[in-house]
Amino acid sequence: MNFDQVKLRGCWSGAEIVAFIESQLIPMRLAVHDSVGSPWVLSLWYLYENGQFWCATNRNAKLASYLEADPQCGFEIAGDAAPYRGMRGKGKTNLVPERGGEILTRLLDRYGISKTSALAKSLLAKVDQEVAICLTPQRISSWDFTSRMAGAHSAK
């Protein structure tokens, strides 16, 4: 990641942020503005490559039209279980139709989705309608409460 262009805050270095991003197989939460300017949050599979996040969506999805109208977004990659740690940020998106199918296929591979599964078959049946979403971060904040939460949970 080219951190010269990204404002970093929080407890992790740039290398630690990249290691965390690449180790996670949870979806990214993406916050965008809908057609009337209200906040809208959704979860998307992601790839991280050369300082950018890549996701995919159907070109007819509301998300695609929302990002065309307003490419600014917020994002977060963080688990829901203790100890709480993760990263969030702000960035700008760009839709890249010519990479939609490629990114979708790579996302299926990254998340271990069998190409013969019903889910993959359903998504790949419309692969020609996929657009890639390229998210370039502008600001990233990280947090890690691992040491602070040590011993805080009792066994059930």
pLDDT tens across 24-67, in order? 999 999 999 999 999 999 999 999 999 999 999 999 999 999 99
For the chain, the domains span: 7-144
Report d(CA 23, CA 11) in Å as an integer: 17
b/e map of 13-33 (b: 16 or more CB within 10 Å)?
Answer: eeeebbebbeebeeebbbebb
Average pLDDT over residues 95-112: 97
34 CA to centre of own chain? 18
Per CATH, the architecture of 7-144 is what?
A: Roll (2.30)
Q: How many CB atoms neighbour CB 134 within 10 A? A: 19
Higher pLDDT, 42 or 153: 42
DSSP 149: T
Is a pLDDT exceeding 70 seen at residue 152? Answer: no
Please state the rounded mean pLDDT for residues 122-150. 89
What is the rounded average pLDDT of the residues 127-144?
96
User: For residue 11, which of 140, 150, 143, 137 has the smallest C-alpha distance?
Assistant: 143
- Residue 77: pLDDT band by 50, 70, 90 thresholds? very high
Flag whether pLDDT at 16 surpasses 60.
yes
Nearest to residue 58, comparing CAs of 128, 134, 109, 121? 128
Q: Residue 150: is its pLDDT beyond 70?
A: no
Q: What percent of the chain has pLDDT over 90?
A: 81
Alpha-carbon distances of 112 from 1, 52, 145, rounded to whole Å: 25, 21, 29
Q: What pTM did the predictor assign? A: 0.90
Write phi, then psi, for 78 (nearest 5 degrees). Answer: -160, 140
